Amino acid sequence: MTESPAGPPLVLASGPDDDGVAVITLNRPEKKNALSIALREEVVALLGRMAGDEALKALIITGSGGSFSAGFDLREFAVTGPGHTERLWRSSDLFHHAVHRFPVPVIAAVDGIAYGGGFDLAVLCDLRIATHRATFAHPESAFGPVVYGPLHDLVGGAIARELVLTGREIDAGEALRLHIVSELTDPPDLAERTRNLARQISRAPREILVRNKAKFIARSAISPQTPTLDL
């Protein structure tokens, strides 16, 4: 099951502003911003257009309605129509790599839940700021493989293995202690605090930011051909 074209946009975008900062907002609040195939495809297309914008120096990804993202839309895994499974995993592969390989720094502004693919999305960003009510978990570990490599790079093997194998939820305070997030704030202040961080980053010339981001990508040793299930 995928969304019809009718209805509100699945993804909102603004910027870049005068500081070179743009914002992408996941916009399925009634589904806690679940990452449907259509939403993933829209994000990939949007990132592709933004990547070449010479005015862009930093990108913020956030969610609407008090949630970051509940992860993949599980209803879509029950569909068996022709080509559906191929489209599901292709959209997943393109989505993860589009975020990971975006040429300028990406900041996740996390409010509410970041579960499953939502947790992955936050981890694939370069930096994360969260609200005090944010929570992170990999509940899909009870029934399927989990994206492991980027989390390992962020928090180290011991913590990453424990979070992947147990699927337990961690609250914002623990996420800060584990350095999953770099700062906590109250929900009304999240947008401005994240923009302040993006503005601090954007003081550097774009070419320097692109060079530094390329080093991050190279250090991860993740090939752009790596399928989601092998990450």
Q: Which residues are annotated as catalytic?
A: 140
Rounded Cα–Cα distance for residues 168 and 162 (Å): 9
∠ CA 35-125-128, nearest 5°, is 105
57 neighbors 209 (Cβ within 8 angstroms): yes
Phi, psi of 114 (to 5 degrees): -130, 90
Rounded Cα–Cα distance for residues 21 and 30 (Å): 27
Q: Which residue has the tokens 């980027």?
A: 150
